[in-house]
Amino acid sequence: MIPFYVFASLAVVASLLVIAQRNPIYSVLLLIASFGALSGLYVLLDGYFIAVVQIIIYAGAIMVLFLFVVMLLNAPHEDTDYDERTHPLRRRGAMRFGAVLAVALAVELVWALGRSSGSSSFARAPAPTVAAIGRSLFNEYSFSFEVTSILILVAMVGAVVLARRDSPASGGAAKDR
Amino acid sequence: MPSLNDYLVLSAILFSIGTAGVFVRRNLITILLSIEIMLNAVNLTFVAFGRQFGTVDGQIIAFFVMTVAAAEAAVGLAIVIALFRHKESLNPDSFATLKW
Amino acid sequence: MSPVLVAQLAITLVVFVALLSAAAGMVYVERKVAASLQQRIGPYLVGPKGLLQPLADVIKLMFKEELRPSAADALLFTLAPVISATAAFAAFAVVPFGASTTFFGLLDEPVRLQVSDVNVGILVVFAIASMGVYGIVLAGWSSNSKYSLLGGLRSSAQMISYELSYGLALAAVLLIGNSLSLTEIVDAQAGTWLGFIPKWYLLLQPVGFAIFMVAGIAETNRAPFDFPEAEQELVAGYHTEYSSMRFAMFFLAEYINMVTVSAVAADLYLGGWHGPLIPASFGWIWFLLKVGAILFFYVWMRWTLPRYRYDQLMRFGWKVLLPLAVLNLLATGAGVLFFEG
């Protein structure tokens, strides 16, 4: 039980700090810590494969991408004095609505879960092996697997095209039309 | 031993933290990070239920969610870069020119 | 404290101390081998044949002044070398270096010569290698200097590009070895064909081994892929602003990464601790010999080949090595299907 509480509190605290931090680099690093905690939770759930894949993909690749973008953009801190001095629940308009909504969502979910009777321990199931995951992935989920590869290709091409600077030749041609 | 409910409550809390981040923060990159928090909370739910029913499907679906999150983060960040080049700001309020 | 627990703790301690001594030893070996290749003597003043030179280097580094640029981010500046060194040490936790042994009957049950055995061992090595990128990129950013930032970004871009080929070479070994656990892959390489050709995966996967070694050299930022540290272009890349013990930690991390890549290569391609003429419980001697051979190859490459330019490096990684690794994987899959289908 103790490892669960350690990882769970680390995940929650890190996530809270992610949305509370003003420096985006610190936000990214805290999110990596949160992913590490989640990876630990996956290990507790006997999901060894998904735990390691979480570190490889999320903490090791996606977050590096975020870090690169934050470093390259080098944007100044965005919060105005107003944002720094008022609590989110007391700010005007959309922000107050959003903060209230998030709190209401949390309360409602926890209440709904408290009413159900799913408080028994997990069944004694054998830990799934990576071989079983592979077999299932390539038999039942083979279509999703192939579509995912096309999705990644589309995302790669899209990212390259969207982030490209317009060269003077193409910019000039567009203006002539 | 933690029960299924413990994991679901933790997942709910993480999801609401992500939602709060999307609404409250005024920085495009932090908004994208909050979306990643939400996706992770969902992954945790999937893996917990997969463990409850003793199948590998939970892990496989979580794996697909991760892949989709990677693709979405890449395209989202490319859009953020393109926007930043245009307006030199990461505040979503400064991209309000389409409003009536 | 059961004897098995004591043995586990002792193994962990031995691995830690061995890695530190390996890093120190590599400093000496590198300078001596470089000297031989350049037809000079190398260090010979400190201790017999210069053997205490690494000790002198460490003492010098400890006594240097700890500098930190005032515009640098204090927390990240200190955290970056810690991340690098931690990832370097942690990656060795799942690398086995000997057969299961009972230490000549002192223990009731055999214990593996490995800090921990996870059944997804190879993936853990890969995961921790991806975490090592953060030390470099944070060092580059937090130093708040243009040489550091450029060096850090280039170095981390290089590392994540070559990680792909690294992973695909690993995947080809997985196909043959049929397991993700490093111990099982090593055990599958025991024995010989025709009595004298060892069943190493090097012979089944020569292209894969070449790809793995090249990607490993690029991962550890060693020549000829050490552009981010090129003195002529970038002063010293991401560790420009570092001095004394923080610099020592980066230095340490680089050497231990080399040792880890060599150890994983020895386990995956060279049969780990299996070898003739030595009884199984002393297999770690063979392991040390194989790792030493690969480390010598590393040092030899550094002082023989000229350095790649950055765009040549990236072009090679993406346009040559990655397609080659994919083709290797396909060919391996076809071979496995043909010979065992």
Q: What is the topology classification, in CATH, of domain A1-78?
A: Four Helix Bundle (Hemerythrin (Met), subunit A) (1.20.120)
Question: Is residue A169 pLDDT above 60, yes or no?
Answer: no
pLDDT score, position A75: 64
Categorize the per-residue pLDDT at A118 as very low, low, confident or very high, splitting at 50, 70 and 90.
low
Tally of CB atoms within 10 A around C4: 14
Query: Averaged over C100-106, what is the pLDDT?
Result: 64
Inspect the interface and report whether the beta carbons of A130 and C119 lie closer than 8 Å: yes
Chain C residue with minimum CA distance to A71? C141
pTM for the model: 0.88
Q: Which of C83, C124, C326 to probe by mutation at the A interface, max A CB count within 10 Å? A: C124
Distance, in Å, from the CA atom of A173 to the CA atom of B10, rounded to the nearest integer, reads: 54
Beta strand ranges found along C118-211 (DSSP E): 192-193, 197-198
Does residue C76 lie within any of the structural domains? yes
Q: Say which of A25, A32, A60 has its CB closest to residue C141.
A: A25
Q: Please give the distance of CA B43 from its chain centroid, rounded to a whole number.
A: 10
Domain boundaries, position B20: 4-89
Question: Is residue C39 pLDDT above 60, yes or no?
Answer: yes
Q: Say which of A42, A122, A159 has its CB closest to residue B52.
A: A122
Residues 272-301 of C with CB under 8 A from A: none
In chain C, what's the furthest Cα-to-Cα distance? 66
Domain boundaries, position C145: 69-340
Distance, in Å, from the CA atom of C33 to the CA atom of C290, rounded to the nearest integer, reads: 17
Sketch the domain layout of chain A as residue ranges.
Answer: 1-78, 87-116, 128-166
Q: What is the pLDDT of residues C70-94, one digit of tens each?
A: 777 788 888 888 999 999 998 888 8
ipTM of the complex as predicted: 0.91
Tally of CB atoms within 10 A around A125: 13
Question: Is residue B15 pLDDT above 80, yes or no?
Answer: yes
Whether B and A touch, i.e. at least 3 CB pairs below 8 A, reads as yes
pLDDT score, position C242: 73
- Top mean pLDDT of B56-60, B70-74, C110-114 is at B70-74
Does residue C176 lie within any of the structural domains? yes
Mean per-residue pLDDT over chain C, rounded: 84
Q: What is the pLDDT of residues C271-284, one digit of tens each?
A: 887 877 777 667 78
CATH number of the domain residue B25 falls in: 1.10.287.3510
Categorize the per-residue pLDDT at B32 as very low, low, confident or very high, splitting at 50, 70 and 90.
very high
Question: Is residue C262 pLDDT above 60, yes or no?
Answer: yes
Whether the CB of A60 is below 8 Å from some CB of chain C: the reply is yes
Question: Is residue C181 pLDDT above 90, yes or no?
Answer: no
Inspect the interface and report whether the beta carbons of A56 and C126 lie closer than 8 Å: yes
Give the type of residue at C145: S
- For residue C331, give every residue at least 6 positions away whose Cβ sits within 8 Å of its Cβ, in sequence order, or none: none
DSSP one-letter code for A126: P
How close A137 gets to chain B, by Cα (Å)?
A: 7
Does residue B96 lie within any of the structural domains? no
Q: What is the pLDDT of residues C188-240, one digit of tens each?
A: 888 777 777 778 888 888 999 999 999 999 888 887 887 766 655 656 667 67
Does residue C43 lie within any of the structural domains? no
Does residue B26 lie within any of the structural domains? yes
The proportion of chain C whose per-residue pLDDT surpasses 90, expressed as a percent, equals 20
Query: How many independent structural domains does chain B possess?
Result: 1
Distance, in Å, from the CA atom of C91 to the CA atom of C308, rounded to the nearest integer, reads: 27
pLDDT score, position A66: 93
Does residue C271 lie within any of the structural domains? yes
Inspect the interface and report whether the beta carbons of A27 and B29 lie closer than 8 Å: yes
Distance, in Å, from the CA atom of B18 to the CA atom of A91, rounded to the nearest integer, reads: 19
Q: Answer yes or no: are the C-beta atoms of C180 and C119 closer than 8 Å.
A: yes
Residue A114 buriedness (CB in 10 A; 0-12 / 13-18 / 19+): exposed
Q: What is the pLDDT of residues A46-80, one digit of tens each?
A: 888 999 999 999 999 999 999 999 988 876 565 55
Between the alpha carbon of residue C290 and those of residues C181, C214, C266, C274, the distances in Å are: 20, 17, 6, 10
- On the question of a cis peptide bond just before residue C224, with omega within 30 degrees of 0, the verdict is yes
Q: Answer yes or no: are the C-beta atoms of A105 and B16 closer than 8 Å.
A: yes
Tally of CB atoms within 10 A around A155: 20
pLDDT score, position C228: 65
Does residue B9 lie within any of the structural domains? yes
pLDDT score, position C296: 92
Query: How many independent structural domains does chain C possess?
Result: 1
Inspect the interface and report whether the beta carbons of A32 and C134 lie closer than 8 Å: yes
Does residue B64 lie within any of the structural domains? yes
Does residue C207 lie within any of the structural domains? yes
Mean per-residue pLDDT over chain B, rounded: 89
Query: Averaged over C160-186, what is the pLDDT?
Result: 88
Question: Is residue A176 pLDDT above 60, yes or no?
Answer: no
DSSP one-letter code for C128: H
